[in-house]
Amino acid sequence: MYRLGEIVARLGGELIGDADVDIRRMATLEKAGPGDLCFLTHSKYLQQLRSTRASAVILARKHQKATSLPKIVCDDPYVYYARAAQLLNAETRPAPGIHPRAVVEPGAEVPGSAAVGPFCHIGRGARLGERTVVGASCTIGEDVRIGEDALLGPSVTIYPRCVVGERSVIHAGAVIGADGFGMAPEAGRWVKIPQTGRVVIGDDVEIGANTTIDRGALDDTVIEDGVKLDNQIQIGHNVRVGAHTIMAACVGVAGSTRIGKHCAIGGGARIWGHIEIADRVNISATAEVVKSIPRAGTYTGVLPAGESREWARMVAHLRGLDRLSKRVAELEARVKPRKRKR
């Protein structure tokens, strides 16, 4: 629990009203009660602000006169809410130590400040950073490097030689460094190509539950600093994801693609392999990206859902566009005006 004034002292902003109000948690305007801190980001919620039972509210300067409640006035209420929620919901990390049912192979380095849960396996030569937390049933391969203050949820698997940066968070079931999908065709059969690269993950990266990142075939697969990946994402081998890019759930990125910095990729988007995407590109949910995107901007590439018969007619028309285009060209050629003789 914090007093409102303590929150402002830590996070900044302008406090208007009682600084001694006790704040226990964040809540929505609609559901809040005494001890709750809310936030307002849009004028359409002003009616909820007028009826809220919250103890205090975070809002923008243009809305500061909309309520008599104690308030924190700031430039970006949504970001302030995120910071306040972190403060009020600070995770309690387990006590340092290696659980007696964990296996730490000879040559592995586990500092005294790290916490290793039950049924974990730490491979030979692996090195954990100070204050690292490894959840139950994790597998850390040989010669893996994990930076300070990293947090691994239950059942995370990190294959040999991969690198995880400082303060990174990897959620339950993620697999880092499995073989990339490399196969060479030979007489109707497939010959496996050994995947000898690594996965290198930067600092302050977050990787969602059951997300998979393949190791490179020759070069490394690289996830740069500050990248945020949602659940159930597939990153193919030799991909590079630029710093502070964010991806929503179920995105698939095929091998050897380069994605720039500060990109935002919507859920279910499909990105083909061996292409490059510039910095600050926004890709809409479920879009299919089949070629390089050289300039910043927002890109959308799917048909929206509609009533089934209408959608089927639209698809039928699209399938006939090539034939229609040829007919139009033929008609234009027939009616092309002839030059008049003088």
Where exactly are the structural domains of the chain?
A: 2-88, 97-299, 308-337
Tell which CATH architecture fits domain 97-299.
Answer: 3 Solenoid (2.160)
Distance from the first to the final alpha carbon of the chain = 94
Determine what percent of the chain falls in helix, strand and coil, rounding each to the nearest 5.
Answer: 15, 30, 55
Phi, psi of 93 (to 5 degrees): -85, 150
Which tokens sit at 69?
Answer: 């409640």
Backbone torsions φ then ψ of 322, nearest 5 degrees: -65, -45
For position 109, what pLDDT does the model report? Answer: 98
Write the single-letter amino acid at 90. Answer: A
> Can you give the pLDDT at residue 166?
98
Dihedral sign for Cα 247, 250, 251, 254, please. Answer: positive
pLDDT at 91: 81
pLDDT of 314:
86
Confidence at residue 306, expressed as pLDDT on a 0 to 100 scale: 81
Give the contacts of 274 (CB within 8 A, at least 6 positions apart).
Answer: 254, 255, 256, 257
Q: Give domain 2-88's CATH superfamily.
A: MurE/MurF, N-terminal domain (3.40.1390.10)
Paired tokens of 222: 């690289």
DSSP bridge pairs for 247: 229, 265
**Which ranges of 14-120 does DSSP label H, i.e. alpha helix?**
46-51, 77-88
pLDDT at position 341: 59
The dihedral over CA atoms of 224, 203, 96, 145, expressed in degrees to the nearest 10, equals 50
Residue that the structure tokens 């007696």 belong to = 100
Number of H helices, E strands in the chain: 5, 38
Annotated catalytic residue 237: yes
- Residue 298's closest CA among 312, 285, 313, 310? 285
Between β-strands 183-186 and 189-192, what pairing exists: parallel, antiparallel or unpaired?
antiparallel
Domains 2-88 and 97-299 share a fold: no
Interior CA angle at 81 toward 79 and 84, to 5°?
A: 115
The rounded distance, in Å, linking the Cα atoms of 157 and 151 is 13
Given 237, 244, 262, 317, which residue is catalytic?
237
CA distance 262 to 287: 18
pLDDT of residue 147: 98
What pLDDT, on the 0 to 100 scale, is given for residue 202?
98
User: What are residue 49's DSSP bridge partners?
Assistant: none
Q: Using an 8 Å Cβ cutoff, are 107 and 124 in contact?
A: yes
Burial degree of 263 (CB within 10 A; 0-12, 13-18, 19+): buried
Q: What is the pLDDT of residue 332?
A: 87
The letter for the amino acid at 340 is: R
Q: What is the structure's pLDDT at 4? A: 96
Per-residue pLDDT tens listing for the chain (342 residues) = 999 999 999 999 999 999 999 999 999 999 999 999 999 999 999 999 999 999 999 999 999 999 999 999 999 999 999 999 999 998 888 999 999 999 999 999 999 999 999 999 999 999 999 999 999 999 999 999 999 999 999 999 999 999 999 999 999 999 999 999 999 999 999 999 999 999 999 999 999 999 999 999 999 999 999 999 999 999 999 999 999 999 999 999 999 999 999 999 999 999 999 999 999 999 999 999 999 999 999 999 877 778 889 888 888 888 888 888 999 988 888 887 666 655
